[in-house]
Amino acid sequence: MTRIVLAYSGGLETSIAIPWLADRHAAEIIAVTMDLGQGKEALEEIRDRALATGALRAHVVDVRDAFARDYIVRALKAGILGERSPVSASLAHPLIAQKVVEIANIEQATIVAHGDPAGGASPLDRTIRALDPTMTVLAPAAEWGMTLEQQLAYARERHVTLPVEYSGLGDRASAPRAIALKSGESASVVIAFEHGAPVGVNGVMMPLLDLLGSLSIIAGAHGVTSLAALHLAHDALEKAAVAGRGEFSSPRIAAPYLRVLSDGIWFTPERGTLDADADAVQQQVSGVVRLTLFDGACAVGDVQVAASPRTIVLAKAAD
């Protein structure tokens, strides 16, 4: 049989894509889901749903380290993690494309599919084609012409179980929204940076994944996403460290960096050039920033620039 590897988010489009592709192409469907930090229970639910819906196999690939190190930090240095930036919807696309192609090669499949209704115009589609021009790329959500109501009806007809809410990078992904605990009190968080990369929270140096997890808990309790907090703190520190010398990098790099994402040319020398440009400026961006969090708002307090945050008594800064 034909074998199709599907980038599976667990959302509506990719869920109904399993039976739709299987019927239309008389194919075996291999579902591939990226672990970007959605949580074990959510990923198990997504995997089980893929199998129950008809996937022959369902792979969950742990890419948390790579996503944090090679994507979030690079986007932070390029200044594209702001609240109004569309990057949250597309930042993971190059990594998803790369892993889907890798799994397709392992599965000896020459066809891959995704759930983006933009079809060939989507960044994910463009990146897959750029990575492997010999691969056939299908976008069922761009082909079937079903309205949302018709998709839901099709899901019911094919006994596709869809939860009211699902975790993961959705088919029509949007910037994640933090859920405030409505504590009614403000809180402070101190973020330490070294050469533009976050290295500590509230006086404790920690690995990147641990840092993002801690920041997500602290900021999320006050209705602020961890990425928004990181962007605001980094932006303030960069301005304090280098803006006076006319070397503030983000405004210059952000637009072309977003174009690299949208055009599907992440794995090219052009992005490498942008990274090098950003890194050259980020050598000066070290220090700590105190943020105040309250009811979905985030404000910059103290900004301390240093040759390295390790030279600052972080515990005292976090008090």
Residue 187 confidence class, pLDDT cut points 50, 70, 90: confident
143 and 200 both lie in a single domain: no
8 and 151 both lie in a single domain: yes
Mean pLDDT of 109-128: 94
DSSP code per residue over 128-176: HHHH-TTSEEE-HHHHS---HHHHHHHHHHTT----SS--SS-TT----
State residue 317's pLDDT score: 47
148 and 227 both lie in a single domain: no
Q: With CA atoms as reference, report the closest residue to 229 among 169, 284, 182, 290.
A: 290
Q: What whole-number distance in Å separates Cα of residue 119 and Cα of residue 125?
A: 7
Mean pLDDT of 253-276: 90
State residue 1's pLDDT score: 80
Residue 55: Cβ-neighbour burial (10 angstroms; 0-12, 13-18, 19+): buried
Strands (E), the chain: 2-7, 27-35, 57-62, 111-113, 136-138, 187-194, 197-201, 204-205, 287-294, 297-305
Residue 174: Cβ-neighbour burial (10 angstroms; 0-12, 13-18, 19+): exposed
pLDDT of 260 > 60? The answer is: yes
153 and 205 both lie in a single domain: no
Q: With CA atoms as reference, report the closest residue to 28 among 53, 60, 4.
A: 4
116 and 238 both lie in a single domain: no
Backbone angles phi, psi at 211, to 5 degrees: -60, -45
94 and 229 both lie in a single domain: no
State residue 86's pLDDT score: 56
CA distances from 277 to 78, 196, 251, 253, 263 (A): 9, 13, 12, 8, 20
- Give the percent of the chain with pLDDT over 70: 84
Residue 224: inside a domain: yes
For the domain that residue 99 is a member of, what is the CATH number?
3.40.50.620
Residue 178: inside a domain: no
50 and 102 both lie in a single domain: yes
Tally of domains in the chain? 2
pLDDT of 319 > 70? The answer is: no
201 and 116 both lie in a single domain: no
State residue 18's pLDDT score: 97
Residue 173: inside a domain: no
State residue 201's pLDDT score: 94
99 and 150 both lie in a single domain: yes
Residue 151: inside a domain: yes
Q: Are β-strands 297-305 and 287-294 bridged in parallel, bridged antiparallel, or unpaired?
A: antiparallel
226 and 110 both lie in a single domain: no
Tokens of 107: 């599965």
**What's the pLDDT tens digit per position in 152-180?**
899 989 988 776 443 333 343 333 444 44
30 and 70 both lie in a single domain: yes
For the domain that residue 224 is a member of, what is the CATH number?
3.90.1260.10
14 and 65 both lie in a single domain: yes
**What's the pLDDT tens digit per position in 65-108?**
999 999 999 999 988 886 555 566 688 999 999 999 999 999 99
Residue 275: inside a domain: no
Q: What whole-number distance in Å separates Cα of residue 229 and Cα of residue 212?
A: 10
Backbone angles phi, psi at 99, to 5 degrees: -70, -35
Residue 272: inside a domain: no
Q: What whole-number distance in Å separates Cα of residue 164 and Cα of residue 278?
A: 41
Domain range for 88: 2-157
Residue 177: inside a domain: no
Residue 24: inside a domain: yes
